[in-house]
Structure 1
Amino acid sequence: MPGVRLLLLSDTHANLPALEAVLQDAASRRYEQVIHLGDALGYGPFPAEVLARLREEDATCLLGNHEQMLLEYATGTRPVREGIVAQALTWQLGRLSPEDLAWVRTWKDGIDDPDVGARYRHGTPVSLDQYADSVTAAREVFQNWQGRLGFVGHTHVPVAYATLNAPVGEWIKAQPFPEGGSYMVAPTTRVILNPGSVGQPRDGNPRASYAIYDSARAHFEVFRVDYDIARTQEAVLAAELPPVLAARLSVGK
């Protein structure tokens, strides 16, 4: 069966210049389907614009913890407490249309894709909001999930976690992609693959991060892209959002 080329995005966090740069870069690499692994919203100054751009791409969007919180604020089921996350989300709520919110309500917390043989979820293959951010955490996920291929976001760090069969049982190996890079998924390996963050990288590299997965070749490749950070920073400050949300973009933290 012919494979599919997936454009894997995550954690755009309402950063339109970063998303636009990624989509422009990815256009030259060919893809058939866009998967957004959660947290399109939160933090940034362009919530409605990012949703509109994802709709234009006919993206399949997963629910992230920021969308979950935003929807709870919208229905009054979560009390609004002070903090950067709440401040950004409540500001964004005032800028999203009823149609935007209706679309976000359709996003699923996890999708199994039989054609690719993969599970898509925001945090880990078994959780919306837990982090697969270390070998120890990945080992626990692999113990609780028997799937072979998982695509996740949430950590804002592009990385592959893979199982290796050994005499003492499964070993877990991590391969980060701070400058981009490729990874072949071996037939006997179980893997969790993270494309990193489009709109707020946290691995010390401020360039936007995304990945393409070619299911026919079982090939995962991470790309890093420059974007107009100053434009996003100026919009953060103009919206009177917390200045730290602008400052962190320059340092990728």
Structure 2
Amino acid sequence: MTTTRVGLLSDIHGNAVALNAVFDDMGPVDALVCAGDVVGYGPSPEPCLAAVRDRAIPTVAGNHDRAVVDGMTWEPGDEYARRVLSTADIEWLGDLPRKLRRFDGRLKAVHDHPDERDRYTDPADFAPTLLGDEDVLVLGHTHVQHAERFDEGLVVNPGSVGQPRDGDPDAAYAVLDLSDLSVDLRRVPYDVDRVRRRIAETTIPDRNGARLAPD
């Protein structure tokens, strides 16, 4: 079967409520790709990781994924994930690649910047020079949803499933059509208060819930 429609995810950040809302909203796709940071910040690293593993979603390593593996945690949500995840879960995170190629090399995914780990690639930085021989470059890390089409191909950040930072609190994702290199940037509301209540039941500070939908 030829892969045409690809669901793009990134920066799930332990937010299972948002992730389930995305899956419910997405509709049929031929494949999924995740641009990293399955864990961190949020209260549900185990079900988020299980959802990605159970669907065998090709995933690259994000900085929070690496932090949980290495124990050099960025913030309390990382520490919580490291404490509650199983050894097998942490090993799975540790096996995630920095970059991946899919669909006969037409799509490349990296969490941050194709040439520099942990570098933010903001929308203003989208340029054809980011592209190699792939048709589509998928990025995450900034939590800002954006896509730009160039003669050389498409650069897309599907936005953050679990913690958007572009002024819209709704969960973000995208659906790519490889047949014409078009991309549909989508948002879906979810129960933010439910996630905040779950955070309150953990050792994660309330500020991680407050940032999900700033006043």
Same fold by TM-score, threshold 0.5 exceeded?
A: yes
Write the distance in 2 (CA, Å) between the matches of 1:144 and 1:19. Answer: 28
Among 154, 171, 175, which residue is 2:141 paired with? 154
The answer as to 2:197 corresponding to 1:197 is no
The answer as to 2:60 corresponding to 1:52 is no
Write the distance in 2 (CA, Å) between the matches of 1:23 and 1:38. Answer: 17
Write the distance in 2 (CA, Å) between the matches of 1:116 and 1:227. Answer: 34
Identity of aligned residues (%): 31
Q: Give the aligned partner of residue 118 of structure 2.
A: 129
Write the distance in 2 (CA, Å) between the matches of 1:107 and 1:5. Answer: 23
The answer as to 2:178 corresponding to 1:215 is yes
Write the distance in 1 (CA, Å) between the matches of 2:101 and 2:53. Answer: 21
| Offset of residue 138 of structure 1 | 3.0
Q: Give the aligned partner of residue 11 of structure 2.
A: 11
1:13-92 pair list within 5 angstroms: 13-26=13-26, 29-73=27-71, 78=72, 85-92=74-81
What stretches of structure 2 of length at least 5 have no aligned partner? none
- 2:75 counterpart SS class: helix
Write the distance in 2 (CA, Å) between the matches of 1:161 and 1:127. Answer: 20
- 1:61 counterpart SS class: coil
1:154-193 pair list within 5 angstroms: 154-163=141-150, 188-193=151-156
- Give the conservation status (yes or no) of the 8 Å contact 1:112–1:120: yes
TM-score by length of 1: 0.78
Write the distance in 2 (CA, Å) between the matches of 1:108 and 1:21. Answer: 27
TM-score by length of 2: 0.91
The answer as to 2:102 corresponding to 1:113 is yes
- Give the conservation status (yes or no) of the 8 Å contact 1:2–1:216: no
Q: Give the aligned partner of residue 138 of structure 1.
A: 126
The answer as to 2:83 corresponding to 1:94 is yes
Kindly provide the amino acid, as one letter, of the partner of residue 210 in structure 2: A
User: Per-residue CA shift, 1:85-124, capped at 9, x if unaligned?
Assistant: 3322111111001111121122110012252512110012
Range with greater deviation from structure 2 (200-209 or 104-113): 104-113
- Give the conservation status (yes or no) of the 8 Å contact 2:131–2:153: no
Write the distance in 1 (CA, Å) between the matches of 2:108 and 2:198. Answer: 35
- 1:55 counterpart SS class: helix
Write the distance in 2 (CA, Å) between the matches of 1:144 and 1:249. Answer: 30
Among 169, 174, 183, which residue is 1:206 paired with? 169
User: Per-residue CA shift, 1:149-182, capped at 9, x if unaligned?
Assistant: 211111111101344xxxxxxxxxxxxxxxxxxx
- Give the conservation status (yes or no) of the 8 Å contact 1:40–1:51: yes
Write the distance in 2 (CA, Å) between the matches of 1:201 and 1:145. Answer: 25
What stretches of structure 1 of length at least 5 have no aligned partner? 164-187
The answer as to 2:195 corresponding to 1:232 is yes
Write the distance in 2 (CA, Å) between the matches of 1:21 and 1:100. Answer: 23
Write the distance in 2 (CA, Å) between the matches of 1:160 and 1:229. Answer: 26
| RMSD of equivalent CA atoms | 1.9
